[in-house]
A and B are shown apart, each in its own frame.
Chain A
Amino acid sequence: MTTLLQQIANGLVLGATIGLIAVGYTMVYGIIQLINFAHGEVFMVGAFGGLAVWRFVLPEGMKEDWYVALPLMLVGGVVVSVTIAMLMERFAYRPLRNAPRLAPLITALGVSIALQEAVRIWFPDADRSQSFPRVFINTQVKIGPVEIPATGLLLIATAILLGLLVQLYVNKTRMGRAMRATSQDRDTARLMGVNPDRVIVLTFVIGAALAGIAGVMYGMHVQTLGVRAGFQTGIFAFTAAVLGGIGSLPGAVIGAFIIGLVERLGGQYLPGGTAYAYVWVFVVLILVLVFRPQGLFGESEKVRA
C-alpha cells in the first residue's frame, strides 16, 4: 500500500513536469496547428538559464537563501526560454506560416537539434551532465506513509496553479479572446481587428515561460542537468498533449498527470517492471488514438472552409 501511494506521488511529480511543458505544445498547436518539437528544448534551455544565474550572477552570500536565489533563477530561466521561443517563432516558423504543414514540422525538428548543439558547445561544461543545485527546502515531506521531496510538491503546486491561470487568461481576458478567435479562424480574426502575429508570439511566450519554470524546478528536483534533458521529457509532453486532445488546455495537464501515473505505476506493477515503464505510456496513447482519435478532451477536427 505504501509503495502504491508512493508511486502515485512520484507519478504526480512527473506528471506536473510534463504538464507544464504540454501546455506549450497544446497552445501552439491550437493557434497555428504546428507541433513544435523544439518545445522540449525550450524546457532544457530554461533549465540552463536558471543554472547560469546560479553560477554566474548570484553572489555567494545569496545562494544560501533559497527565497532569494530561486525567484532569480526562475526569472533567468524564463527570460532565456522566452527569448529563445520568440527568436524561434520569428526566424524559423513565421516565414513558413503559409507553407505546407510538413515544412514547419521538419523545421521544428531542426531547431530542436540546433538548440541542443548550441547549448552543448557554448554553455561552459555543458558537454557533459552536471549537477544542479537544490535551491529549495531540502527535505522529504511526509504525508501519511508517503514521502515526497519538497521540490516535488512545489512542482505539483506550480503546475496546477499555472495551468489554471493560463486557462483563466485564455477564457476571460481580451487577449485570451483574441487567441481563441485566431485559433478558430485567423483571417476573420484579422478582419475583426486582431493582430494574429502578436497573438501567435504571445502564445509562444506563455508556453515558453511555463517550460522555463518547469526546467528550473525539474533541474532542482533531480539535481542533474544535461543537454538531452529536454528531448525525452518533450516527447512525453507531446504525448500528453495528444492524449488530452491537442489544442485543449485542461486536456494537456490532465493527460500529463495520466502519463506520469501510468509510467510510475506501470513500472511498478505491470509485467516487465521499470524496464517497460515507457512502453505502457505509449500503449495508452495508442489505445486512446484508436478509440478516440481526437484525444480525451479534444474536439474532432473540423473541415475548414
Chain B
Amino acid sequence: MRNHTVKAAALVAAGALLLSACSTNKEESPGGGGDNQASCDQSKGTLVVGVIVPLSGDLEALGKGISQSAQLAVDQANTECKVPGYKLALDAQDDQRDPTIGAQAATKLASEESIVGVVGTLNSSVAQSVAPVLAQNNILQISPANTNDTLTKGEDYLNSPKRQWKTYFRTCTVDSLQGPYAANYLVGQAGKKKIAIVTNGLTYGEGLADTFTVQAEKKGAEIVTRQKVGENDTDFSGVISAIKPFNPDAVYFGGEYPQAGPLSKQLASAGINVPVMGGDGIFDKTFIELGGKEGDLATSVGAPTDELPSAKAFIDAYNKEFEEGSFGAYGAFSYDATNAIIASLAETIGDGEWSADKRDALLEAAQKYSAEGATGQISFDENGDSTNKVLTVYQVKGTDWASVETGEFEE
C-alpha cells in the first residue's frame, strides 16, 4: 500500500489541472486533500451529475461559470465523502443556447443509469425543451438561472399556477418578481415615467417585459411603446427611430447582453441618452464591453455574491481553482443547486446502492431539502421555485457593475 501514498500525492498536484476536465476516469479522481481521498470509500462506483448550459457562443462566459461552480461542489463532495460509497463525476454538455441541442444533450444524459441529477439550463427557452425530456426519465433537474415563471407554474401562472414537471426545481428567483422589482426601482426610485420597452421575442425577454409592464403601470409610469428586435439583429436603427418620437426617459430591454450592449450604444449615438435597464440576462461585464454605458441598470437574482457572508467560502474555494471571479451571475446558484442534488442523493442512498428506482425518492428528498447555501437559505416551494426571493439592482459605474439596492419584491 506504499504505492497509495505516492498516488495520493500525485493526485493533489494534478488536482487543479483535472478540475476543468469532466472525466469519469477513475485514475483522475479530483484532488484537494489526498488524506480525505484515501479515507473515502468509493467502492460502489461512479455517479454522474449532468450539466446542460451554453459552453460556446455568446453566453459561454455564463455557462462556464455555472459548470465550474458545479464542478467545485462535486469535487468537495468527493473529498468530504458526502455520498458514502460513491465517487461523483460531472458531465457538462454544451446546449449552444439552442433548445433542440439542449434536448439532445438531455436525452444523452438521461440514457445513463448513473445520472443522478442535472444542473441547468441557463436559458429559459432551452429549459422548455430540456425539462420534459428529463421529466419523462424521472431525472432530478435544478436550474441555477431559469427565471421564466411558466417553467414551474404553467402558462397561466398568475391566476392558476400548476406545476409543470415534478422533476424541475430552481435555486434562482423568477421573472414575475424580477420584472416588478425592476419596475419599482426604475419608476419609484429613479423616477422614470415614460418607458420604452424592447424585447428579443424569446421566452425570457417576453416574460420579463410583461411582468415589468404590469408593475410599472401600477406605479404610475407610462409604457410609451413596445418594440421587438430579431434575436440575431445587430442594427437597431429601425427600432431606435420608432422609439425616438416618444421621448422615453428610460428603455427596458427584455433579452441578453450580446444585444443589450450594442442597443445601448446605438441609442446613445442616435441621441437617446437614457438609461437602458434589463434583467439578469444583461448582468455581465461583457454588456459594458459591447457598449453598455454609465448609468445603465440591471436586476439580478440574489444578493451580490461578493457581499454575501454565506458566499465567502464559495468564492474563496472557487477562486483557488478557477479564474478569479469567473463564476459570473449564476455560479453561486449553480453551486447551491449541485449541493442540493448531492445532499438529496446522499439521503436517498443512505447505506444502500443507487439504482434507477430510487429516482422518486431522490425527488422527494430534493423537495424537502433545506440548507444554508452560498446564496442564502436554499429550499423549494410546492412548484419547485426557490423560496429565496432576494433580488439586487446593479448600475454600470466605470467599467463594472455596482450594486445599488438589494431586497425582496414588495407590492
Contact = CB atoms under 8 A, between A and B. Distances in A.
How big is chain B's contact interface, by range?
35 or more
Contacts of B232: 228, 231-232
A3 interface: yes
B202 to A, nearest CB: 12
B262 A273 contact: no
Contacts of B60: 127-128
Contact of A273 (B228, B235, B244): B228
Contacts of A6: 241, 244
Given A7-B241, A274-B242, A140 B270 contact: yes
Interface stretch (A191-199, A216-224, A239-247): A216-224
Interface stretch (A66-74, A89-97, A161-169, A262-270): A262-270
B234 A226 contact: yes
Contact of A222 (B59, B201, B234, B286): B234
Given A224-B291, A232-B230, A140 B258 contact: no
A2 to B, nearest CB: 7
A188 interface: no
Contact of A226 (B230, B258, B271): B258
Given A128-B60, A275-B201, A224 B245 contact: no
A221 B228 CA distance: 21
Given A224-B291, A273-B228, A263 B266 contact: no
A228 B289 CA distance: 19
Given A14-B235, A129-B290, A274 B228 contact: yes
B386 interface: no
Given A127-B60, A223-B265, A278 B238 contact: no
A225 B258 CA distance: 10
Contacts of A120: 56
Nearest to B198: A274
A32 interface: no
Given A129-B58, A222-B234, A268 B269 contact: no
Interface string B223-240: 000111110111111110
B238 A267 contact: yes
A229 B290 contact: no
A296 B57 CA distance: 39
Contacts of B226: 273
A289 B227 CA distance: 30
A224 B238 contact: no
Interface in B243-262: 244-245, 258, 261-262
Contacts of B238: 7, 10, 14, 263-264, 267-268, 274, 277
A274 B286 contact: no
Interface in A173-213: none
A223 B241 contact: no
Most chain A CB within a 10 A radius of its CB, from B235, B244, B269, B289 = B235
A277 to B, nearest CB: 6
B56 A274 contact: no
Given A222-B262, A224-B234, A274-B229, A131 B289 contact: yes
Contact of B291 (A13, A131, A138): A131
Nearest to A138: B269
Interface in A1-33: 2-3, 6-7, 10, 13-14
A222 B235 contact: yes
Contacts of B57: 127-128
Interface string A110-141: 00000000001000000111110000001010
10 contacts: A10-B238, A13-B235, A14-B238, A128-B258, A131-B289, A149-B270, A223-B262, A224-B234, A224-B291, A228-B232
The list of the 7 closest CB pairs from A to B, nearest first, reads: A275-B228, A224-B262, A10-B237, A129-B258, A6-B241, A128-B58, A274-B227
Interface of A: 2-3, 6-7, 10, 13-14, 120, 127-131, 138, 140, 147, 149, 152, 218, 221-226, 228-229, 231-232, 263-264, 267-268, 273-275, 277-278
